[in-house]
Structure 1
């Protein structure tokens, strides 16, 4: 394993190979840009964080890049046993499990008030401004964030349901269309809300998934903050 300045240079080269800037790398790991700069300059980094970093760069950077003779645990390699489907040898049982998707990064869990003004604060957002940073498998952009759902307006007995207490991963850079689940901010309220966008000819609505709640007509009084890409919740 490389150490010191050599490791710092390896981190910087890996970042360039993957095509991300230092601010984005910091956001992925829930640290400050100064911390990333420290990794690059001195090569000083916790072993656990370094292993996460190596796994993050994954297929873009070979194990040899880090001075390793073999891939560390969790490193994505083709043809390895770790990529074999769980339950491939079924025997007498129907084992309905498969390996999960890879962790793609970390996103900040923020308040609905922060979400309501996300476009204004995103460039100045710091790791300490979030309730926590959550790992996610969602394929989202570098400006993504997470929100905790409160209430039952998005709970449905059929089809898609987003229950109270669940976490939604939101991508403000994703395109939205009729039927998208969006985070929106009405101009006369401070907080953002999660609803289904419905476009019916010239009319647009924010529609709850729970039929007990009424759709909200929008006509220029609404800003779409982002598109919900994934729902996560504890059982």
Structure 2
């Protein structure tokens, strides 16, 4: 299947779901599911939610690579075989508390702690202490992207706003994208005190500042360094 639209439609049909049932299982609005199946929209984090709902390989749904949901799973070779091939996997609705994928699985990124952000070195894969590895269907820099749990409510938008990042939701951070556009969400380090924060990047007339989505919090107008740009979000249904 050559297109995301064709794969999304086939996956839903194989899961024996109507678009309304897929909305209930994934949290993706029926209108957006319809757009994806018609090919009226590009890649988005909605694909990850749909992959979880349909129990399909998110990489297959996004790119066509990997096992289709109707493929017969191949048995894994012995763990002590140095030439072990990657095993097939399926996505569950809610990720387990342990590692979801083997460390370094293609298409996945490590979920790290805030304490690791300031010293992040994506090239040093062997030193990464990750809570688990998660699939990231958004376009990102392999080996230089990580996932992070949101802390606090400064990026929780008022009710009715489309984009919001409540505490404990998971964001995907591409550390190669350090020159964000006005309005993009970023991870930044405040030059005074080295505090790491998640905010909206704002710039106008040569001025740069950090804006929270929650109006109860004040903008940050002190000097800062951009550590990465947010390329997607994962929010568990439960």
TM-score > 0.5, shorter chain as reference: yes
RMSD: 3.0
Unaligned ranges ≥5, structure 2: 22-29, 38-46, 52-57, 63-106
Q: CA deviation at 1:130?
A: 1.6
Q: Residue 48 of structure 1 corresponds to which residue in structure 2?
A: none
Residue among 198, 202, 205 paired with 2:206: 202
**Residues 41-97 of structure 1 deviation map (CA, whole Å, 9 limit, x = unaligned):** xxxxxxxxxxxxxxxxxxxxxxxxxxxxxxxxxxxx448x8553536xxxx986634
Change (3 A) 1:191 1:106: farther
Q: Residue 184 of structure 2 corresponds to which residue in structure 1?
A: 180
Question: What is the rounded CA distance, in whole Å, between the counterparts of 1:93 and 1:222 in structure 2?
Answer: 44
Q: Residue 70 of structure 2 corresponds to which residue in structure 1?
A: none
Matched, 1:131 2:131: yes
Task: Give TM-score, length-normalised by structure 1.
Answer: 0.56
**Residues 186-230 of structure 1 deviation map (CA, whole Å, 9 limit, x = unaligned):** 123344211001112122111000011000013xx3110100010
Task: Give TM-score, length-normalised by structure 2.
Answer: 0.56
**Residues 162-182 of structure 1 deviation map (CA, whole Å, 9 limit, x = unaligned):** 111100001111241111100
Q: Residue 168 of structure 2 corresponds to which residue in structure 1?
A: 165
Question: What is the rounded CA distance, in whole Å, between the counterparts of 1:146 and 1:107 in structure 2?
Answer: 6
Where is the helix percentage greater, Structure 1 or Structure 2?
A: 1
Q: CA deviation at 1:122?
A: 2.8
Change (3 A) 1:94 1:163: closer
SS at match of 2:123: helix
Unaligned ranges ≥5, structure 1: 1-76
Change (3 A) 1:223 1:189: same
8 Å CA contact 2:150, 2:166 repeated in 1? yes
